[in-house]
Amino acid sequence: MNVVVVESPAKAKTINKYLGPGYKVLASFGHVRDLPAKDGSVLPDDDFAMLWEVDSASAKRVKDIGDALKSSDGLILATDPDREGEAISWHVLDLLKKKKLIGDKPVSRVVFNAITKKAVLDAMANPRDIDVPLVDAYLARRALDYLVGFNLSPVLWRKLPGARSAGRVQSVALRLVCDRESEIERFVSEEYWNLSALLKTPRGDEFEARLVSAEGKRLQPRSVTNGEDAGKLKALLEGAAYVVESVEAKPVKRNPSPPFTTSTLQQAASSKLGFSASRTMQVAQKLYEGVDLGGETVGLITYMRTDGVQMAAEAIDAARSAIGSQFGSRYVPEKARLYSTKAKNAQEAHEAVRPTDFDRTPDQVKRSLDADQLRLYDLIWKRGIASQMASAEIERTTVEILADNNGQKAGLRAVGSVIRFDGFIAAYTDAKEDGEQSDGDDEDGRLPEINARENLAKQKINSTQHFTEPPPRYSEATLIKKMEELGIGRPSTYAATLATLRDREYVTIDKRKLIPEAKGRLVTAFLESFFARYVEYDFTASLEEKLDQISAGELNWKDVLRDFWKDFFAQIEDTKELRVTNVLDALNEELAPLVFPKREDGSDPRICQVCGTGKLSLKLGKYGAFVGCSNYPECNFTRQLSSDSNGSDEASVSNEPQSLGKDPHTGEEITLRTGRFGPYVQRGDGKEAKRSSLPKGWTPATVDHEKALALLSLPRDIGAHPETGKMISSGLGRYGPFILHEGTYANVDSIEDVFSIGLNRAVSVLADKQSKGPGGRGRTAAAALKEIGEHPDGGAITVRDGKYGPYVNWGKVNATLPKGKDPASVTLAEALLLIAERIAKGGIKTTKAKTTKTAKPKAAKAEGTTAKVAKPKAAAKPKAAAKPKTAAKAKKG
């Protein structure tokens, strides 16, 4: 009997069925040990020794594996086929060796990128050793991320209060978002005009042609920049006679895109399905691990963390066969299509993301999938099969037209496309937005019959004014595409990086666009001013290349760490001499458009409008940055620094409460105030006063007595639900306007809906929310993904999947899981620690038998010795000064 170790219990159960009684398949539940989230887990002064920690649940799983190994013939490590999977196998083996449980028993490593019987059995027939360079690359990545996060984050805390963390990849991704916002702020719109003519053929068919030249000069796009020039050209066209100079029809072939990689899957799922990157990966994980099809668990797609675009030869043959049977022989190209990846060193890439069986169409499996799983599988199946289909054949027709107005001449052009054979478009059309190019019909459409040398009748001349627009904000999909282009991060890190930016409140998402918060822009400006090298795109990309070289066995991982740490440590040391005034001067300069926007009257935006003599500047307080006057305390002007207010002095011209009138029912004074979290209205005084923040889109200048009364009257009763008889109410919460019924929240579009929504629509919105389930918009109690155990103070602890990802729940306490943490692998000790941290952070009190008591997590079990991780021979240690002091509980970046 052989012991097989995989990552998840779902895979263990399925693979055990495939292998039969000669094998015992056990799950590691992800990583069995990790670097403790405290200072001193990576020791640069000890040749980067790494101290690993095993929690109690993982220790039990390792013990179970060890116990099974005692009576087995050998150990087979079958974790995921990527860098993380290789590392998990290495961790398991290293722990078993330390416990002296391996002895002389054979150990092998197998990988399969699809959970099907054939893939698993083929892998078992072709074992190998653990890929040491791949493990070294993992160790280098973990050490780098740790050293950056646990040394740079404390600098932020000391020099930039309110900032939460920095990270090697996270901070560079944030810089991309902030740089785009700065581009938008600096953008100056320019006027341009487009001219076209609506013309009619001798057969009575109308079409439109664009002006492309005038008086022998070619007109570039946006070259007509004012109404005067546009008027002259329009006059020329109005009085001109039109004749067709030439008609050229040219056949064009359009080829399909390759199958999905991780990043292109995330981009397409965002464009077509509206999925976030993390949601895409959650759903893909379930499709990979398998679903029940007729009593058998079958993996529907290959492994979803990959930057490879190729498919296995047997998969290509299967796709071509399925194309012939489902679309016809004409759709099968003469030769199979072969794709190559653009990645310089695709160590994590095996196959592209594709269906495990092309004959298993979306229609055949839809009864076994939920709505999101079906939509994503449909996308993967169509893209995969389209990648092996024949090219689309398109006829592109270009018509050149001469306009002659008494010797004044202009050229016009009409372009049209007709699909003569749809080819791969019959299966899949690429999305136009979020980084995917369109492979569908040309926008020009079809032209009527037009012949050379024939005269055309003018119907109408169109002259339209336009203004250039700033570059668009990044969406999750376009940011991932940009990171991939720059070589920043890797497929397995994109979703976690984006989630970290949201969780740190560095960015928000509005209409699927990433908007940097003021906090995020402050962090970026600080890092660009004092740690410029470590947020440079080229530097980060070159570090990724070195990690790839390590995984290819071309570089020693300790050498890479030494080179990095020498300069990074010196930079950290230099910040000890950095004064707050230096920080503020740099931020005032870097963020001037945000902090001191231009005023309509042209006055100096840095002069205080309250006292008229003080100079405005960024100030740093306990809760972050704000704008204040240099004449404090004589002038107490302050203004919240936020992306919404855009630095407008209207946001707060004084800290003094402004009276809006009295409440007609209570007689209490209603005032408009400004606090550290922004403007709000208040009724009465003292602890019992009723308060409400201003909703998004409302500014202090627009709030009057009527609006304040409306806000303070919330929540509003809408009416009794026709099915339950329980009241439906509307209100304004942390996540915006909502309606509520029996604990189920559903978001509504605007604050106006809160005041005006009727019973019928409210019932409809709630029904729509419930039909979408946990992945839909709004908030509702999510079903438990996993029962972890009992809390020492009583009550079950569970893992649930919410709007912002998986979290641990105990009673009314919800604690978000660390990014990248597999919900199935959460242990009781980890859950207790997360709950305790959440309680401490939020000031939540827990009760047991009506007695206040703070939950105390059980201590995790730490290894007493440093892990022996491939030390190089007698490498010279760099001299280093005393290690900078860091906070004991710094969060990883």
Task: Give the residue among 165, 884, 241 at the shortest CA–CA distance from 497.
Answer: 165
Marked catalytic residue, from 23, 242, 288, 303: 303
pTM of the model: 0.71
Strand, helix or coil at 357?
Answer: coil
**Phi, psi at residue 78, to the nearest 5°?**
-125, 40
Decide: 492 and 262 in contact? Cβ < 8 Å.
yes
Range with the poorest average pLDDT among 89-98, 478-487, 613-622, 641-650 = 641-650
Per-residue confidence (pLDDT) for residue 871, from 0 to 100: 37
Decide if pLDDT at 880 tops 50: no
Q: Convert the pLDDT of each residue in 258-280 to its tens digit.
A: 999 998 999 999 989 988 888 99
Q: Is a pLDDT exceeding 50 seen at residue 180?
A: yes
Q: How many CA atoms lie within 13 A of 177 on its CB side?
A: 31
| pLDDT at residue 431, rounded to an integer | 57
What count of other Cβ atoms lies within 10 Å of the Cβ of residue 98? 14
Q: What is the DSSP letter of 599?
A: P
For residues 329-353, give the mean pLDDT: 78
Extract the tokens encoding 839.
């309680």
Tokens of 434: 């979020």
Q: What number is the average pLDDT over the span 402-412?
A: 94
> Can you give the pLDDT at residue 804?
65
Cα 527 to Cα 586: distance, rounded to the nearest angstrom: 11
803 — pLDDT class (breaks 50, 70, 90): low
Query: What mean pLDDT is predicted for residues 531-538?
Result: 88
CB proximity list for 359: less than 8 A, separation 6 or greater: 318, 321, 322
Indicate the residue type of 42. Answer: V
Mean pLDDT of 211-233: 93
Residue 677 confidence (pLDDT): 62
Q: CA of 286: how far to CAs of 8, 115, 373, in Å? A: 11, 11, 8
Per-residue pLDDT, 283 = 94
| 8 A C-beta contact, residue 101 and residue 70 | yes
Q: Is the peptide bond before 633 cis (omega within 30 degrees of 0)?
A: yes
Are 625 and 641 in contact by the 8 Å Cβ rule? The answer is yes
pLDDT surpassing 80 at residue 538: yes
Query: Cα–Cα distance between 82 and 140 in angstroms, integer?
Result: 15
- Of 871, 882, 877, whose CA–CA distance to 562 is shortest? 877
Percentage, residues of the chain above pLDDT 70: 87
Whether 138 is catalytic: no
What mean pLDDT comes out for the span 662-680?
82
The pLDDT tens digits for 677-729 are 667 889 988 878 888 888 877 877 788 888 899 999 999 999 998 888 899 99
Average pLDDT, the chain: 84
Selected residue with higher pLDDT from 493 and 567: 567
Q: Does the structure show a pLDDT above 60 at 784? A: yes
Whether a cis peptide bond, with omega within 30° of 0, leads into 715 is yes
As a whole number, mean pLDDT of residues 166-188 equals 91
Per-residue pLDDT, averaged over 115-125, amounts to 91
Q: Which residue has the higher pLDDT, 858 or 580?
A: 580
Listed residue (103, 446, 45, 491) closest to 280, CA to CA: 491
**Segment among 126-140, 228-242, 859-873 with least mean pLDDT:** 859-873
Q: In this structure, which long-range contacts are made by residues 678-681, counting pairs with CB atoms below 8 Å and at least 24 apart in sequence?
A: 678/640, 678/642, 678/645, 678/651, 679/640, 679/651, 679/652, 679/703, 681/708, 681/711, 681/712
- Is a pLDDT exceeding 80 seen at residue 781? no
Report the alpha-carbon distance of residue 362 to residue 375 in Å, rounded: 9
Give CA 647 to chain center in angstroms.
27
pLDDT for 863 equals 45
Angle, CA 188 vertex, CA 182 and CA 191 arms, to 5°: 150
**Pairing relation of β-strands 74-77 and 2-6?**
parallel
Q: What is the mean pLDDT of residues 339-364?
A: 78
User: How many Å apart are CA 336 and CA 334, to the nearest integer?
Assistant: 7
Strand partners, 728: 719
Which helix (H) or strand (E) segment holds residue 668: the answer is none
479 vs 777 pLDDT, higher one: 479
The two beta strands, 846-848 and 23-27, are unpaired
pLDDT at residue 846 tops 60: no
Give yes or no for residue 892 having a pLDDT over 60: no
What is the average pLDDT across 573-597? Answer: 84
Mean pLDDT is highest, among 109-123, 380-394, 795-809, for: 380-394
Q: Is the pLDDT of residue 849 over 50?
A: no
Best mean pLDDT range from 174-178, 678-682, 698-702, 796-800: 174-178
The closest of 458, 398, 448 to 205, measured between CA atoms, is 448
At residue 893, does pLDDT exceed 90? Answer: no
Q: Choose the most confident range, by mean pLDDT, from 311-315, 655-659, 874-878.
A: 311-315
